[in-house]
Structure 1
Amino acid sequence: MREAATVDVGRTKDVDAEVDDVTEELVGESAGDEAATWDAWDAAFDREEGPFDVAEVDLDADEVKRLDLGTLVITPFDKMNLQLQVDKAKEKVQALLISDGTSAMEVAVFAGPTRSSMLGEIREEIIKATEEADGKVELVQGPFGAELRRRLPVTTPDGKPATHLSRTWLCQGPGWVLRGVVMGKAALEPDNQDADLAMWEFFTNLVVRRGPEPAVPGSVLLMEIPQLDEK
């Protein structure tokens, strides 16, 4: 008759604890490697072709028709649809939404540090928020550095479950951070350059006027309601 095997429970717990420690260490190293890769993608993008800081361009040097929102100067494109998200109490613009009919992008400007980058911190916040909403996020090398592709569960107006897809572009300049959230066809077909061409060109042509006012890094830089006859 075969003898029953005996198990040292204390030893098993010790081994399990050691395995957990090694697993946590490997996960931490993996996360650190990923963050380093994302930082490298950001560093490879130099803003030479935009988006720009107002000190880097001469807005009066050409005949291009632009809209001046104070903190942000935008260049409209043919048949562009523009919506402003306005803080009614302050009568200021918090963000803007542009569309070409098939794709759309929400743009906002935030205060940032002048001598360091906070893109890693912003990415971590987006990743955490996505996970807390039971969504999924993938980071790839996009046109402006590390790009976040998000899939979030949502409910349609008629109560049916659905998935919302978006791509987040982040770009940091002297004292500011631009965020563009791409939706629609350009998010559904992220490798279709024709689908996101208008969004890419619009984001590239943005000009940020940070201003001298102090602001906490990460806080929204409010914009003015534009005058339609502005150059």
Structure 2
Amino acid sequence: MFGRRRRAEEERATAVSKPVSGEESSASARTTGPWDGQDDYPEGERVDLGGLRLPVGPGFEIQLSMTGDQIDGAIVLVEESALQLHAFAAPRRSGIWDEVRAELAREVAAVGGTVTEQDGPFGAELAARVPAQGQASQGAQQGPQPVRYLGVDGPRWFLRAVISGRAAVDPSAAGILEDVVRGTVVIRGDEPMPPREPIQLRLPAEARQAMEQHAAEQAGRQDDLRPFERGPEISEIR
């Protein structure tokens, strides 16, 4: 009787010590970034874009990419290199990088580029050479441009990174942008999202305040110049 009870207790203890899901196993095994917002990630100076928190460094310039009126990606410029980052929702228990990687390879081939799969710091990646934008009108003088496509599957999110410029071929330059990917934090949120839906970003608080202050100052100047007349309207062009 006591032997059976002891064996039952040992089996329960073993079951508790095992991971209960693939998501929890992945989270517990995470030792480097990019990080999930729920991870115990290392502190550092980052720009808060809502869905992404990007590390910053000397000489960094950060731009935002937009689809319609929505901010859906960030671009980090460092000297002669660029890093594009886009975060997407993903299924809870399976990644999508394998599928996305195959799709990217087909797209590169469709525009006349070449692509090779290789091992990188974050696993499988694509090293491609793609026609430069506007190359047809320039008589094909620039030649194919080197690009690296990186992908990381996280818990319910997927982060796609595209490295171009010098860092696509120079390991010393690539290390700076690879560290940006490692230091990035993805804030997925708890709301339901279909797979591959972009995780929306927003302007940093300082930038929003500066834009609001600038708009208020412009409105004040117009009122001072023509207090009883409607001032000119400015249309935003993107």
TM-score normalised according to structure 1 size: 0.71
Give, as a single letter, the amino acid of the residue that structure 2 aligns with 1:159.
Q
Task: Check if 1:48 corresponds to 2:31.
Answer: yes
Rounded Cα–Cα distance in structure 2 between residues aligned with 1:55 and 1:171: 16
In structure 2, the gaps of 5 or more residues are: 1-25, 208-238
Hey, what's the Cα distance between the residues in 2 that align with 1:186 and 1:121? 25
Aligned to 2:89: 111
Q: Distance in 2 between matches of 1:58 and 1:174?
A: 15
C-alpha distance in 2 between matches for 1:104 and 1:57: 28
Contact 2:89 2:196 in 1 (8 A): yes
1:77-104: CA deviation from partner (whole Å, max 9, x where unpaired): 1110111113453xx3111110111211
CA contact (8 A) 1:137 1:150 kept: yes
Please say if 1:83 is aligned against 2:63: yes
Report the counterpart of residue 16 of structure 1 in structure 2: none
Letter in 2 for 1:167: R
**1:201-220 to 2 correspondences below 5 Å:** 201-220=179-198
Q: Equivalent residue of 1:55, what SS?
A: coil
Matched ranges for 1:18-37 at <5 A: none
How many residues of Structure 1 are paired with residues of Structure 2 in the alignment? 178
- Give the TM-score normalised by the residue count of structure 2: 0.69
- Looking at structure 1, the residues matched to 55 and 127 of structure 2 have their Cα atoms a distance apart, in angstroms, of 25
The residue type equivalent to 1:160 in the other structure is: G
1:37-66 Cα distance to aligned partner (Å, 9 max, x none): xxxxxx9xx64111100111267xx4x332
Unaligned runs of 5+ in 1: 1-42
CA distance in 1, matches of 2:95, 2:41: 26
C-alpha root-mean-square deviation of aligned residues, in Å? 2.2
Which residue of 187, 191, 197 maps to 2:168?
187
> CA separation in 2, counterparts of 1:209 and 1:148?
25
Aligned-residue offset at 1:225: 1.1
2:109 corresponds, among 131, 134, 137, to 131
Higher relative contact order (Cα pairs below 8 Å, separated by 6+ residues): 1
